[in-house]
């Protein structure tokens, strides 16, 4: 899990960029200067998500929303209720 100085959207919501590392390097997600993103590629999300702060809402990001939705459904199915899609 590659952390980029975690500073969330607000104190309870943080963004996870779930695109592959190659995609992230080719087209970095750029937000307000105060907002940083955690990089966890979708293929590592299953093992890393359980290590994240359970008191925060984690917002999943991918380019077109398809992978975010698939990962959201998977995490919800496995009992993680602190996850949504970043739009």
Rounded Cα–Cα distance for residues 42 and 32 (Å): 23
Which residues are bridge partners to 39 per DSSP?
2, 17
Check if 14 is active-site: no
Among 79, 78, 83, 77, CA closest to 18? 83
Catalytic residue among 37, 62, 67, 75: 62
Just list the catalytic residues.
62
């Amino acid at each position: 899990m590659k952390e980029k100085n975690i500073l969330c959207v607000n104190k309870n919501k943080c963004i996870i960029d779930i695109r592959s590392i190659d995609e992230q390097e080719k087209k970095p997600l750029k937000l307000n200067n105060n907002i940083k993103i955690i990089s966890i590629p979708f293929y590592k999300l299953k093992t890393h998500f359980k290590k994240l702060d359970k008191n925060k809402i984690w917002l999943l990001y991918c380019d077109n929303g398809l992978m975010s939705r698939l990962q959201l459904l998977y995490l919800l199915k496995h009992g993680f209720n602190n996850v949504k899609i970043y739009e």
